[in-house]
Every structure is written in structure tokens, then in C-alpha cells.
């Protein structure tokens, strides 16, 4: 079974600054995806960024980028130029791709990020 | 089609009552998932449908829980004889293979 650990329950950052959220995972699988999802207060969860395990290049989406360290099983999210709208709960998630995985997600406990004006 | 829709958004029920939630996925998505999210935790997988077939159920899904997806369209999740421990946010997500999962806003259940 896979586990996902987010060791920072809460973080805060000043608007326009950069913040990094940590995530580690444990798996014996070699073929998988990793995700960061954002859940704003009272709104639905949306995908921030996705990383395929077979890709060495770190994924980037505008102000969001990841540092994927496969050997260390680490997958951190960096948010640059933080905006007030980035305030949300952030979840790291794992998806196994092989062996009848059914593509379900295994989530960490989340990190509540607050962006201060 | 504007996304995954879940109804009701909130439900308060007395212990022992039955409740049913509905999820309308994005129309072309053949895969549908139910997750449960309790306070301070990430979502946990409950069950998965591919079209109308329920292909996987978590051990979290006790005998009091049942889910259906007739004709591979909308899905319902029913909880019988609710208990206080069932209080949670119930999330529905839909996808096609190898794409992102789209989540609904969830149904928040409070059992009093």
C-alpha cells in the first residue's frame, strides 16, 4: 500500500513571496503519477500540477513548480509570487498506474496555506 | 456541462436515519470515484465505478454503505442507519483514463 506524508499542517507566506510545501511518499511501485491538488475554502478541489514518475524533468505550471526527487520519494511544491487567491488547503496525492490500480488517488493530510497581504 | 455536480451540498440527519447523496459526473467521463474526507484529513477512497460497474470498494465502505451508478451516468451513495462517525465530507470525482480527476464540491454530512 502507498502512503503520502505532508509534514506541515499549516504554513503562511506574504503576498508576492515564494513558499515551498513538502510531501514525501512511500511506494514499491515504479510507474505512478504524483499530484498537487488545491482545495479553497468551501470550493471544490482542483488540480494544480501533475508529475509522471518516469519523467526526470520537474513539472511547471506558471507560478507553480515541483521538485521531484524519485530516489528520495520526495515531491515538493513551490509557489512563486504568492497571491491572496492561493490561500487554500493543498493536498499531495499518489496514483499507481499498474496492476489494476483503478487510478484512484491516495492523499496526504494536507497543508493549509495562508497568503497574507 | 460545467463540471461534477453533487447534491445536496449539506445534510444534517439524526443518528439511525438513512441518507442518500447524488453525484452527476462530467458527461463523457466513464470513471467515477467516491471519497470521504474527515476534519484534518485528506480524502480517502471509498469506491470506484467504470461505467455502471462497481469495480472496487474500500474496506472503509461498511455494509451500511451502498453505491450505484445506473446506466453509467449519475451515481448515488446511500448510508443506512447513520452513525456519528459517518459525519464527513463526501466527495465525488470523475475522469477518463490518464487525465486529471475532476471533483465536485462535496456533500457535507452531519449526524446528530
pLDDT over 60 (residue B1)? no
Q: Taking residues B52-57, what's their average pLDDT?
A: 94
**CB-based contact (8 Å) between A67 and chain B?**
no
* Distance from C-alpha of A15 to C-alpha of A84, rounded to nearest angstrom: 7
Report the gap between the CA of A38 and the closest CA in chain B (Å): 11
**Environment class of A20 (CB within 10 Å of its CB; exposed 0-12, middle 13-18, buried 19+):** middle
pLDDT of residue A71: 94
Kindly state whether A56 is in contact with chain B, defined as any CB-CB distance less than 8 angstroms. Answer: no
B100 pLDDT tier (thresholds 50, 70, 90): confident
Cell of B66: 451502498
Q: Residue A98 above 80 pLDDT?
A: no
| Digit-coded pLDDT (tens) for A24-61 | 999 999 899 999 999 998 788 999 999 999 998 999 99
Asked whether the beta carbons of residue B45 and residue A93 sit closer than 8 angstroms, the reply is: no
Say yes or no for a CB contact (<8 Å) between A105 and B40: no
Asked whether B44 and B32 are in contact (CB, 8 A), the reply is no
Strands B10-13 and B107-111: parallel
Is A34 in the B-facing interface, judged by CB distances under 8 Å? no
Give the torsion through C-alpha atoms of B75, B81, B86, B92, to 10 deg. Answer: 0
Pairwise CB contact (< 8 Å): A44 & B31: no
Mean pLDDT score, B90-106: 90
pLDDT, mean of residues B83-94:
96
A78 falls in which pLDDT band (50, 70, 90)?
very high
% of residues, chain B, pLDDT over 90: 85
Per-residue CA distances from A90 to A94, A102, A110, B47, B66 (Å) = 14, 23, 5, 23, 29
Is the predicted pLDDT of residue A113 greater than 80, yes or no?
A: yes
Across residues A15-31, what is the average pLDDT?
Answer: 96
pLDDT at residue A102 greater than cutoff 90: no
B43 to A107: CB separation less than 8 angstroms, yes or no:
yes
B38 neighbourhood in chain A, CB within 8 Å:
none
Do you find a cis peptide bond into B85, omega within 30 degrees of 0?
A: no
Amino acid at each position: 500500500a502507498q502512503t503520502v506524508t505532508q509534514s506541515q499542517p499549516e504554513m503562511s507566506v506574504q503576498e508576492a513571496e515564494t513558499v515551498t510545501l513538502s510531501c514525501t511518499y512511500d511506494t514499491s511501485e515504479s510507474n505512478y503519477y504524483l499530484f498537487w491538488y488545491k482545495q479553497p475554502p468551501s470550493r471544490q478541489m482542483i488540480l494544480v500540477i501533475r508529475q509522471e514518475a518516469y519523467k526526470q524533468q520537474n513539472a511547471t505550471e506558471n507560478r507553480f513548480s515541483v521538485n521531484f526527487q524519485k530516489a528520495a520519494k520526495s515531491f515538493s511544491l513551490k509557489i512563486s509570487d504568492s497571491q491572496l487567491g492561493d490561500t487554500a488547503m493543498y493536498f499531495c496525492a499518489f496514483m499507481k498506474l499498474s496492476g489494476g490500480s483503478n487510478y484512484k488517488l491516495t492523499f496526504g493530510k494536507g497543508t493549509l496555506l495562508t497568503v497574507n497581504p | 456541462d460545467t463540471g461534477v455536480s453533487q447534491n445536496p451540498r449539506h445534510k444534517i440527519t439524526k443518528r439511525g436515519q438513512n441518507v442518500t447523496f447524488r453525484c452527476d459526473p462530467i458527461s463523457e467521463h466513464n470513471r467515477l470515484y467516491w471519497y470521504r474526507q474527515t476534519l484534518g484529513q485528506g480524502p480517502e477512497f471509498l469506491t470506484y465505478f467504470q461505467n455502471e460497474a462497481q469495480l472496487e470498494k474500500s474496506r472503509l465502505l461498511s455494509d451500511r454503505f451502498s453505491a450505484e451508478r445506473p446506466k453509467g451516468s449519475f451515481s448515488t451513495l446511500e448510508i443506512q442507519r447513520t452513525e456519528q462517525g459517518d459525519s464527513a465530507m463526501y466527495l465525488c470525482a470523475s475522469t477518463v483514463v490518464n487525465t486529471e480527476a475532476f471533483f465536485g464540491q462535496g456533500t457535507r454530512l452531519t449526524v446528530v
